[in-house]
Chains A and B, each alone.
Chain A
Amino acid sequence: MADSILSYITLAMILFSIGFLGVISRKNIFIVYMSIELMLNSVNLIFVSMGRYYESIQPQVIALMIIAIAAAEAAVFLSLIVVMYRRKRTLNSDLFTSLSQKDSNE
């Protein structure tokens, strides 16, 4: 059992790192979004496996809540992407710079 929790956590860490690499290396905003979801779910995986390991119900509840919130967040995020695409006609996240100091007078 102790070995199996370690392998679950290792898997979660690998998934998290992949997600993070995706966030900082990809420009397409959809892929960035998917990477974020991947990171979120890697954390979820830790919760679930911890719940099994300690035979406790609380981590399972938190995992369920994260899934629910992720669903709501997905709706917001996707609609934001749609709005931004309409503005800029692009999905390249490097071009969304309207909050930077240089371009603030845009």
Chain B
Amino acid sequence: MTLLEVKELTKHFGGLTAVDRVSFMVEKGEIVGLIGPNGAGKTTLFDLLTGFVRASKGEVFFKSLDITRFVPSKIASLGIGRTFQLATYFGEMTVLQNVLVALHLRAIKEVPIQSQLIKTPRVREKEQQIFKAAHDILAFVGLTPSTNQKAKNLPHGFQKLLSIAMALATNPELLLLDEVVSGMNAKEIKDTITILREINKQGKTIIMIEHNMRVAMSLCERIIVLNSGRKIAEGLPKEIVSNDEVIAAYLGTGKEHAYRS
């Protein structure tokens, strides 16, 4: 089943074309890697998919629904969760409060703010369920020991895990991860890979922007390569590493060097 379909998606920033007629499809249950040199338009593509940036042209279909013009909160409620390139969190809040806020989509259904004005035993029970859900998510990503720490005081690797936890709290079908292991040490990377595999096993589809090739190669079933806003290759990891155009994009063609000498 096709979960996400991107058709000729284009974004101009003034004279710059950040994303240029990119089309691809993602099937349910896949882990797709999105790679490319700096400035290739990967993050802009994520921003387009999640409604943070308005597309100049093209369409995005999520479960056959045209979501191209939707606002971020609407897209989140339809089931697309995301993390940001820089670790993003609510710094002054504790780790638990971060996840509680991220459980918003569940909470508006079960404990809307109006219902909290009068705290009947039923409302309290629902609140407790939300708390339990937050604790469960923290246990899942392994952040239980940091539950009551302020998010801004966490080590960087933990902050990245926290952003995964918050994206998971929206209960997404499709998870967009923007350089999720950057700045992590070897052990944290290993743990994160295990967590991502587990998330995928639970039936969630993942698209991940990744600079760490080892992580991309080991996790992704399929890789899409962007360069200067254009899709230059798509295929299995081993096809990608031997693709001439991909090698040229990353390493140069050697021609510029030839001109200089």
Verify that A and B bind, or say they do not.
no
Chain B residues near A (Cβ < 8 Å): none
Chain A residues near B (Cβ < 8 Å): none
